[in-house]
């Protein structure tokens, strides 16, 4: 692939979107005589006129050399050696240019072979993530045609998709992620490769897979992402029973809840929904259907709590043992609290007792989500929101 360089007159990146700490790291690395660029998703988002969540840097400096330059640096990882430059709670991740055979179709288990900028790009996943940016001279450096692909809204693998998915099967999930987030057209060869390689996802790190899924629940594009995960059968491999529910008659209800999650995460909500709420979103609609099918007079609260627990275990934990214990416990509590906030019978729970529940604020947010899906619940949400406000006012007096 021919190297192309693009100037500020061609790319129009807005520098006020770039984190000043990332600029500081870049400048110090270059002043020390090293090559250093912004890379990956941060560059992609800048070109799409979006404010990046993180700023990653690639450099010719070895991890130990980065540590010598920055006192506030911590080296992490053995298989994938990285430098984390810390500014309080903020971390700027710095990686050394890597090499490796981009045609070798074995699973990548170690990645500490240093290389050149071009070699580093050729081992990345998609062309839109293979761009370098040097903020100090305002140039985009493109070895793989990623700049043009961004203009054309095309998602294309770097190299042979079959090989790239076998090297790192999580790339198949990332492909669905970028399709959902950006609405890009994907190259036909990548879709064929996904169909042929999807069973390889079983070889991936469970922690990485779960993190990609949780991030997509936070992304504002979770509805489209899960539709693509179901369509590609990847969800059937990771969460088989949950995938069956998505394909059943209640699938659209689940997608409707995910649409509500997307709306709350992107429109006026002051922060992302807690991951326990996102987990509860995948379980609650299924629990509601189970309750409707329960023999008359219906389950009492203790039985509902047991039903919720069993669904979380069956749908999330049994197929995916790395599901965090905190998420399991908190999502269960949030679901159970819904039947105190909106009891099945006429009997209303004592307000004071419900308000004292540790996870009441999260349960109230989940009730708001439910009201987006089913508008008549909004009155109940307003009732409990006012009760919370009154309680806070009393405690402050």
Contacts of 44 (CB under 8 A, 6+ apart): 128, 129, 131, 146, 150
Two structure tokens written together for 244: 């069956």
Phi-psi label, residue 35: left if phi above 0, alpha if psi -120 to 50, beta otherwise: beta
Contacts of 208 (CB under 8 A, 6+ apart): 170
Q: Is 285 exposed, middle or buried (0-12, 13-18, 19+ CB in 10 A)?
A: buried
Residue from 120, 125, 149, 224 carrying the catalytic annotation: 125
Active site residue 224: no
Separation between Cα atoms, residue 218 and residue 233, nearest integer Å: 21
Residue from 54, 105, 111, 160 carrying the catalytic annotation: 54
**In 3D, which of 250, 254, 275 has the Cα closest to residue 265?**
275
Active site residue 56: yes
Place of tokens 């008359």: 296
Instruction: Tell me: cis bond preceding 332? Omega within 30 of 0 counts.
Output: no
Residue from 45, 56, 120, 168 carrying the catalytic annotation: 56
- Phi (first) and psi of residue 144, to 5 degrees: -125, 10
Phi-psi label, residue 19: left if phi above 0, alpha if psi -120 to 50, beta otherwise: beta
Q: What would you report as the CA-atom Rg of the chain, rounded to the nearest whole angstrom? A: 24
Active site residue 390: no
Q: Which residues are catalytic?
A: 54, 56, 125
């Amino acid at each position: 692939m021919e190297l192309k360089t693009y100037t500020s007159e061609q790319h129009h990146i807005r520098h006020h979107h770039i984190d000043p700490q990332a600029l500081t790291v870049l400048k110090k690395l270059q002043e020390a005589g090293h090559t250093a660029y912004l890379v990956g998703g941060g560059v992609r988002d800048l070109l799409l006129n979006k404010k990046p969540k993180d700023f990653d840097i690639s450099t010719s400096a070895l991890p130990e050399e980065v540590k010598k330059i920055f006192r506030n640096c911590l080296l992490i990882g053995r298989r994938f050696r990285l430098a984390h430059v810390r500014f309080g709670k903020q971390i700027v991740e710095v990686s050394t240019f890597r090499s490796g055979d981009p045609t070798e179709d074995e699973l990548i288990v170690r990645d500490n072979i240093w290389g050149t900028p071009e070699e580093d790009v050729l081992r990345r996943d998609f062309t839109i993530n293979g761009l370098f940016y040097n903020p100090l001279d305002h140039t985009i450096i493109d070895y793989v045609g990623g700049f043009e692909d961004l203009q054309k809204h095309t998602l294309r693998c770097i190299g042979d998709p079959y090989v790239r998915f076998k090297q790192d099967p999580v790339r198949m999930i990332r492909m669905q992620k970028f399709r959902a987030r950006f609405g890009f057209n994907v190259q036909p060869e990548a879709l064929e490769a996904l169909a042929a390689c999807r069973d390889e996802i079983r070889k991936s790190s469970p922690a990485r897979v779960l993190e990609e899924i949780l991030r997509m629940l936070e992304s504002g594009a979770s509805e489209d992402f899960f539709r693509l995960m179901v369509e590609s059968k990847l969800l059937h491999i990771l969460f088989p029973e949950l995938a069956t529910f998505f394909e059943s008659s209640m699938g659209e209800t689940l997608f409707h809840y995910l649409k509500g999650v997307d709306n709350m995460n992107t429109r006026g909500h002051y922060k992302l929904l807690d991951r326990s709420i996102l987990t509860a979103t995948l379980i609650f609609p299924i629990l509601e259907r189970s309750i409707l099918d329960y023999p008359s007079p219906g389950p009492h609260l203790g039985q509902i709590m047991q039903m919720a627990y069993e669904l979380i275990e069956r749908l999330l934990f049994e197929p995916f043992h790395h599901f965090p214990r905190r998420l399991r416990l908190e999502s269960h509590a949030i679901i159970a609290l819904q039947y105190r906030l909106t009891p099945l019978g006429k009997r209303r729970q004592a307000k004071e007792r419900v308000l004292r529940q540790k996870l009441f604020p999260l349960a109230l947010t989940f009730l708001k989500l439910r009201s987006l899906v089913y508008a008549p619940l909004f009155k109940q949400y307003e009732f409990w929101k006012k009760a919370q406000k009154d309680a806070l006012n009393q405690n402050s007096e």
